[in-house]
C-alpha cells in the first residue's frame, strides 16, 4: 500500500470506511437488539445507501482522506469524531423510517463502534508504520530537558532518522522525573546512560547556554564513544534561519569556549554608516567577513576590490542577496585589480570619493610565501605601500591595515613582510596627517583559508590520519565575525600610526584541539595507549618558517582603549626617509630576484626577523640545483 498512487490509497480508504460503517451498524444492531440488517435491507436499501454516501461525503469534506496515515496528528481524532457524529445523526434520521423501538440505544452503540473502527484502524496502521521504523532509527540521548529539548523531542518523533530514548539534565528539579514520556537522568549517569540505552548519538539542546558553559559540557561529552551534535543557536532559531531539528556538528568556537562581547555600535558605525567604504582582498576569508559586517552598518557605497575574479563574483553575489533580503540601500561596486597597481587604486578611491579603506589583501600562507619570497614581499609590502599612497592622494579619511601576530618576532618571510608593511604605514602616518592610518594585529581566525580546523574536519571525515606539524604547537584563535567586528571598532579609535592588538584569549594547544574533534565525532584516538583506536594523529614536523608559539606584542608597552578587547601597542617605528631607504633596497632585491639580498634586508630592518630555516624559495633552490649540476658536468 505504501507504493500505491495517492488516488488509489484514498479509494481504498473510502471503501474501508464504507465497510467499517456497515460493520458498526450491524454490530450496533446486534448488541442493542433493535436492528437486523437482513430484515430491513430489501425494503430500505436505498435509504441505507443514501446514508452511507452522505457519511463518506462528510468524511471527505472534513479532510479525512487528505491526511497521510503515517503523519496523522492527534488532531485527526477530532476529525473522525466529527465525521462519525454527522453519520450518526444521518442514521438517526434514517431510523425514523424503520420499525425500531429504541433509536437512541442503536445510534449510541453505532457511534462508539464506528469511532473505534474508523479511528482505531488509522491509528493502528500509523503505529505499525512507526514501530517498523523504530528499528531503523538511531537511538539518541538529548542533553537538556528544558523547552528546547522538548521541542527537539517532538520534532524528532515525527521524523524518520532519530528515536529519542532518554533525557539528561543538570536541573535537580527535573532529574529522576519523566518529561514527555522520557526519563530525565543527572549528568553523573551520562556514561552509564549511553551504555544502558544503547545510544548512537548525543544531541545537545541548550541553545542559550554561553560558550563557557558549552565548553564545560563538551569536555564532558567528548569522553563518550558516540558522535555529539547540537541544535542551532538561539539567534538562528529566533530569526527563523534554522529549525530546532536542523542538527549541526559541534562548532569549533564552542570547543574554545570564548564568550563573545557585543560590539559597541557607535564604534562599529563611526567610519562606515552613510560613508563610502573600500575593502581590498574583499573575496578572502577576512575581507569577505569584513564586507558582511560593513553592509550591516549601512554604508552609502561598498567597493569590493580583489585580484581574483571568482572570489569577487562570489562575495558580490552574496552581498547583493543580503541587501535584497534585509532591504539595505547601499550600492555595491566590484572592482578587479591588484593592490600593487597604485594608479588604479588612486583612481578608484578618487572617483568614488572613498572615506574608509580596510586593507585585507595579503598573502598569508606561511609555507607558500617561504617558497615565493619575492612575490610575497611585493604583495604584502609594496601592495600595502601602493594602497596607502593612493589613499593619501585621494584624501581618504581612514586607512586600516589588517596585520597578524606572525609579524611579532617573525620566523618566516610572511611575518617579516607584514611587519615591514606595519613600518611602512607607521612611516606614512608620521609623514602626513590627511589620512589616519592604523594597524590591527590578531592571530588565527576559525574557518579561514589557512585554518587547521577545516583541514582536521576533512581528515577525520576521511578516516584519518590527522596531520599535525608538532605536538606542542599552540595558537591563538578567534572567530572571523568577532575578529572583523573588532577590526572595525579598532579603526574607529585611531588617531594615526597606532598598532592595535586584539585580545585573543588563551592560546590553544593544537594537539588537544585535534583530540577533542576526534572524540566529538564519536571516534577514538589511535595511539600507543590505544592501538585499536579509529583516528591517528601524525606528527609531520614543523614546516619552513613555522613557529611553535605565536605572540601579539613585541614588547610590553601597551595601553588600554575604550574597548575591553582592544589594546594599543607602542611599537618601534622609523622615520619616513629611513623607511624609504629600506623600500628602495627591497625593490632592487625584488627586481633582480635576489633572494639572499631580500632576506638580508629583512634581517637588517627593525622587524625582529629570525628565520627558522634556510632560504626555501623555489626559484632560489632550483638555481642552486642547476649550478650544482653544471659544476658536476664540467668536472
Instruction: Write the CB contacts of 295 (distance below 8 Å, at least 6 apart in sequence).
Output: 302, 319, 322, 323, 328, 330, 332
Please choose, from the candidates 443, 453, 437, 452, the residue with its C-alpha nearest in 3D space to the C-alpha of residue 415. 443
Give the chain's length.
635
pLDDT of residue 39: 58
pLDDT of residue 304: 97
Contacts of 265 (CB under 8 A, 6+ apart): none
- The angle that helices 37-61 and 6-32 make with each other, rounded to 10 degrees, is 140
CB atoms within 10 A of CB 139: 17
pLDDT reported for residue 425 = 95
Long-range interactions of 556-565: CB distance < 8 A, separation 24+ = 558/501, 561/490, 561/493, 561/500, 562/264, 562/267, 562/493, 563/264, 563/267, 563/486, 563/489, 563/490, 563/493, 564/261, 564/503, 565/261, 565/486, 565/502, 565/503
For 565-593, the DSSP string reads TEEEE------HHHHHHHHHHHHHHHHTT
- pLDDT reported for residue 71: 45
Q: Each residue of 613-635: b (16+ CB within 10 Å) or e?
A: eebbbeebeeeeeeeeeeeeeee
pLDDT of residue 409: 87
What residues in the chain have per-residue pLDDT under 70?
Answer: 1-7, 9, 32-45, 64-76, 97-103, 125-136, 210-212, 232-260, 444-451, 545, 550-557, 625-635
The C-alpha cell that represents 103 in the structure block: 433509536
Q: Which of 406, 418, 526, 547 is catalytic?
A: 406
Look up residue 548 and give its DSSP letter: S
Helices 576-591 and 413-431, packing angle to 10 deg: 140
DSSP line for 119-132: HHHHHHHHHHHHHH
491 in Cβ contact with 425 (< 8 Å):
no
Residues paired with residue 502 on neighbouring β-strands, in sequence order: 566
Q: How far is the first Cα of the chain from the last one, in angstroms, to the nearest whole number?
A: 87
Beta carbons of 556 and 263 less than 8 angstroms apart = no
Residues 114 and 26: their CA atoms lie apart, in Å, by 11
Counting residues of the chain whose pLDDT is more than 90, the rounded percentage is 30
**Helices 383-393 and 342-351 sit at what angle, rounded to 10 degrees?**
30
Q: What is the pLDDT of residues 549-573, one digit of tens each?
A: 766 555 566 778 888 788 887 778 8
Q: What are phi and psi of 615, to 5 degrees?
A: -60, 125
The C-alpha cell 632550483 sits at 622
Q: What is the pLDDT of residue 26?
A: 76
Q: Are 617 and 374 in contact (CB under 8 A)?
A: yes
Active site residue 406: yes
For residue 70, what is the DSSP state?
G
Cα–Cα distance for residue pair 402/19, rounded to 1 Å: 77
Cell numbers at residue 198, please? 544503547
Ramachandran category for residue 505: left, alpha or beta (phi over 0 → left; psi -120 to 50 → alpha) = left
With H, G, I as helix, E, B as strand and everything else as coil, classify residue 521.
Answer: strand
Instruction: Give the span between the Cα atoms of 506 and 555, in whole angstroms.
Output: 18
The CA R_g of the chain, rounded to the nearest whole Å, is 36
pTM (predicted TM-score): 0.68
Cα–Cα distances in Å, from 66 out to 10, 33, 72, 226, 347? Answer: 8, 36, 10, 40, 65
pLDDT at 155: 80
User: Is 531 within 8 Å of 456 (Cβ atoms)?
Assistant: no
pLDDT at position 359: 97
Residue 525: its H or E element: strand 525-526
Residue-wise pLDDT for 438-447, tens only, equals 999 877 666 5
- The DSSP-derived string for 387-451 is HHHHHHHTT-SEEEEEEEGGGSS-SSHHHHHHHHHHHHHHHHHHH-SSSEEEEEEE-EEETSTT-
Omega before residue 465 within 30° of 0, cis: yes
User: Considering only CA atoms, which of 74, 158, 159 is closest in space to residue 123?
Assistant: 74
Task: State residue 202 phi and psi, 5-degree precision.
Answer: -110, 130
At residue 172's C-alpha, the angle toward residues 170 and 174, to 5°, is: 90
Amino acid at each position: 500500500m505504501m507504493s500505491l498512487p495517492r488516488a488509489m490509497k484514498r479509494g481504498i480508504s473510502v471503501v474501508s470506511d464504507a465497510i467499517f460503517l456497515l460493520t458498526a451498524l450491524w454490530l450496533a444492531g446486534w448488541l442493542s437488539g433493535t436492528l437486523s440488517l437482513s430484515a430491513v435491507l430489501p425494503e430500505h436499501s436505498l435509504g441505507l445507501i443514501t446514508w452511507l454516501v452522505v457519511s463518506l461525503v462528510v468524511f471527505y469534506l472534513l479532510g479525512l482522506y487528505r491526511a497521510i496515515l503515517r503523519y496523522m496528528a492527534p488532531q485527526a481524532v477530532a476529525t473522525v469524531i466529527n465525521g462519525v457524529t454527522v453519520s450518526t445523526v444521518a442514521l438517526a434520521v434514517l431510523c425514523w423510517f424503520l420499525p425500531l423501538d429504541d433509536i437512541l440505544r442503536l445510534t449510541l452503540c453505532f457511534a462508539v463502534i464506528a469511532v473505534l473502527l474508523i479511528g482505531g484502524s488509522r491509528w493502528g496502521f500509523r503505529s505499525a508504520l512507526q514501530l517498523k521504523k523504530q528499528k531503523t532509527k538511531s537511538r539518541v540521548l538529548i542533553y537538556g530537558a528544558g523547552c528546547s529539548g522538548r521541542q527537539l523531542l517532538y520534532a524528532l518523533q515525527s521524523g524518520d532518522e532519530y528515536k529519542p530514548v532518554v533525557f539528561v539534565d543538570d536541573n535537580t528539579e527535573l532529574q529522576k522525573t519523566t518529561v514527555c514520556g522520557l526519563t530525565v537522568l543527572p549528568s553523573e549517569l551520562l556514561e552509564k546512560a549511553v551504555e544502558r540505552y544503547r545510544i548512537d548519538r548525543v544531541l545537545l539542546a541548550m541553545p542559550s547556554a554561553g560558550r563557557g558553559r558549552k565548553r564545560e559540557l563538551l569536555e564532558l561529552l567528548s569522553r563518550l564513544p558516540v558522535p555529539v551534535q547540537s541544535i542551532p543557536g538561539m539567534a538562528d532559531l529566533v530569526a527563523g534561519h534554522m529549525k530546532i531539528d536542523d542538527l549541526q556538528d559541534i562548532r569549533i568556537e564552542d570547543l574554545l569556549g570564548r564568550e563573545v562581547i557585543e560590539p559597541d555600535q557607535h564604534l562599529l558605525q563611526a567610519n562606515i554608516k552613510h560613508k563610502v567604504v573600500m575593502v581590498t582582498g574583499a573575496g578572502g576569508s577576512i575581507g569577505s567577513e569584513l564586507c558582511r559586517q560593513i553592509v550591516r552598518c549601512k554604508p552609502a557605497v561598498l567597493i569590493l576590490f580583489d585580484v581574483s575574479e571568482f572570489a569577487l563574483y562570489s562575495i558580490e553575489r552574496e552581498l547583493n542577496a543580503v541587501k535584497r533580503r534585509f532591504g539595505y540601500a547601499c550600492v555595491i561596486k566590484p572592482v578587479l585589480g591588484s593592490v600593487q597597481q597604485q594608479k588604479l587604486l588612486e583612481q578608484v578611491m578618487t572617483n568614488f570619493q572613498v572615506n574608509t579603506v580596510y586593507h585585507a589583501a595579503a598573502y598569508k600562507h606561511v609555507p607558500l610565501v617561504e617558497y615565493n619570497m619575492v612575490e610575497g614581499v611585493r604583495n604584502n609590502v609594496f601592495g600595502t605601500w601602493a594602497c596607502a599612497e593612493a589613499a593619501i592622494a585621494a584624501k581618504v579619511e581612514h586607512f586600516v591595515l589588517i596585520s597578524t601576530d606572525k609579524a611579532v618576532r617573525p620566523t618566516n618571510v610572511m611575518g617579516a613582510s607584514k611587519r615591514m608593511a606595519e613600518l611602512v604605514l607607521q612611516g606614512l602616518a608620521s609623514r602626513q596627517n590627511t589620512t589616519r592610518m592604523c594597524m590591527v594585529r590578531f592571530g588565527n581566525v576559525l574557518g579561514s583559508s589557512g585554518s587547521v580546523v577545516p583541514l582536521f574536519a576533512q581528515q577525520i571525515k576521511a578516516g584519518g590520519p590527522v596531520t599535525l606539524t608538532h605536538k606542542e604547537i599552540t595558537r591563538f584563535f578567534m572567530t572571523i565575525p568577532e575578529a572583523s567586528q573588532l577590526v572595525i571598532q579598532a579603526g574607529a579609535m585611531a588617531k594615526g600610526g597606532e598598532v592595535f592588538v586584539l585580545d585573543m584569549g588563551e592560546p590553544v594547544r593544537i594537539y588537544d584541539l585535534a583530540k577533542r574533534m576526534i572524540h566529538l565525532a564519536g571516534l577514538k584516538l589511535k595511539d600507543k595507549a590505544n592501538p585499536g583506536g579509529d583516528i591517528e594523529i601524525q606528527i609531520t614536523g614543523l614546516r619552513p618558517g613555522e613557529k611553535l608559539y605565536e605572540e601579539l606584542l613585541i614588547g610590553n608597552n601597551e595601553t588600554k582603549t575604550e574597548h575591553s578587547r582592544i589594546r594599543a601597542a607602542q611599537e618601534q617605528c622609523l622615520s619616513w626617509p629611513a623607511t624609504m631607504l629600506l623600500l628602495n633596497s627591497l625593490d632592487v632585491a625584488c627586481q633582480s630576484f635576489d633572494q639572499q639580498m631580500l632576506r638580508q634586508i629583512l634581517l637588517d630592518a627593525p622587524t625582529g626577523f629570525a628565520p627558522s630555516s634556510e632560504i626555501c624559495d623555489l626559484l632560489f633552490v632550483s638555481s642552486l640545483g642547476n649550478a650544482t649540476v653544471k659544476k658536476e658536468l664540467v668536472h
